Structure 1
Amino acid sequence: MYKAVISGVGSYLPAKRITNADLEQLVSLTDDWIVSRTGIKERRVSEDSEATSDLAYPAALEAVQNAGIDPADLDMIVVATETPDHILPPVACQIQHKLGCGHISALDVHSTCVGFLSALQIAEQYIKLGTHRHILVVGADTLTKITDYSDPYTSILFGDGAGAAVISRGGEAGGAGIISTLLRSDGECFGALFVPGGGSRYRASEEHKAKMVMDGSKIFKTAVNTMTSGSEEVLLNSGYTKKDVDWFIPHQANGRIIDAVARNLSVPEEKMIKTVRYLGNSCSATIPTALCMAVKDGRIKRGDTLLMTAFGAGAVWGAALVQY
């Protein structure tokens, strides 16, 4: 069985920023309150003319170039997103066309904030089986387009962005690569974070808005518990310990959630990759953008062991242990 290796990474962020000072004009919350409760100072926001594929494409292109391959070398594209350009078809098909790939498989994954890890696990299986050589995995979202800015407690959290990675075939044994992935779910928590309107249950209307609704207290507790347990489980399955991990890359949902998970796992601050202060929660994009930024600034180096963990609406959660 082959190794599945992260051979290249890329990211893209919209130029526009919304700061807490900007939000103070819309909601009755101060900058100090927002920072103390969420750890967020600002977030990136797509323009009205920018769709998710417009963010995903440059991130994907950068990852392909960073991997040292051509788009024609890709065997598959998997895009994780909750905010596709259209209800159908998949964003992945648009990325395939924009990159100029051959007639390869292209699909979207609908797995909320765990989307990138879900797509990573899909890529891992195809690569390990030997049927594919290079798979492009993208996490991209424009959550601000489904954010209710009349709700002060959700409008302060979300931002937009895209991150990508190329997963390639490595050697048959030893060396860098994906060590283990883990995905879990519990539908009992379904109503804690959802979009009421716009699906097949209810058309978007004044009563059932196509905007996010969240039970913040329940989300906080569930996110901390599941990201902790997911991390511990993937380490146990792999025979690794927390001391073996060089960098922890958590989903950037909220600064207090990240800090609570770090305390539960006894992770020192200097080992935690955090981008939430300036990017907010960009759903499936948070982990790949954090990974790409830490690679670019030199913190993450080849051979480092990474533990990624995420929680999302559904409820779903997961973790991945990777030697970069």
Structure 2
Amino acid sequence: MIEMASASGMWRMAGGERDVMASDTYGTGQLIRHAIEVSRVDEILVGLGGSATNDGGAGMAAALGVKFFDENGRVLSPCPRELQHVARVDVSQRMPLPPIQVACDVDNPLCGPKGASAVYGPQKGASAEQVVLLDACLGRLAEISGASECALVPGAGAAGGLGFGFMAYADAKLVSGFSLVAEIADWRNRVAEVDLVITGEGSLDEQSLHGKGPVGMARLCGELGVPCVAVAGRCTDEVELRRVFDDVVDLRSSVATVEESMARAAELIEQRVLGKRGDWRKLVEVARGKKQEKREKC
């Protein structure tokens, strides 16, 4: 099992060092190569998320032997600044790979207004102009690679397009990270036995609605008739989120800045959750009543 963020994640660089135009996923490819050549694994599971990159998986592919050329035949570095000039992709020297599954918790396509660049580029430091350039770069990469269909698959835009890269260059299969963990942990049966689920995320926003873990949990709870509430360091798109969760607690509403909500997270969570006990008890009572009615009808 490989976590792509361990090599290509935001945490690897301080804020001032981040340059999405110069970053790539080569390190993730090196981890895969090591797993195959040194650890001799028979299959690989890669977890996506928390990336600092927007290279469409070209860096990962380059580490496995794929080459990218411009119109003059020059080998390109697999970062967006150079990939915008890609004219040919050669996969003939790519190393043999075992079956690879890629777990991701978002359903974004590669390009467009819901794609990797538009939705996640700004949080990686991309300016408005760079978002446009990055989106065009990924579209060109998909076309030149003969993988335009892969670009449309939900999850292709995960981790700066790494979901696309795994499909296009490694014949990998994308799977829902939430569904995978839920199956392993037997969450359906475990959740069915509780009265209330409390979940959370650092930032609950539009990105969360694209299939991230907390929303997956809320939907599972909805199927089982169990109330699900969310606690977040900050919350946007609250109207939409309240259609998914039975209640949402935004810690930022208690303090002046996001930084303060992060620094005082434990204290604020305790305060706000204790203050919500009455409201959440009512949610539980209503849910119990509905379950009882359902049993009586049966």
Same fold (TM over 0.5): no
- The structure that is helix-richer by fraction is 2
Query: Greater relative contact order (Cα 8 A, min sep 6): structure 1 or 2?
Result: 1
Bigger radius of gyration among the two: 2
Give TM-score, length-normalised by structure 2: 0.28
- The structure that is strand-richer by fraction is 1
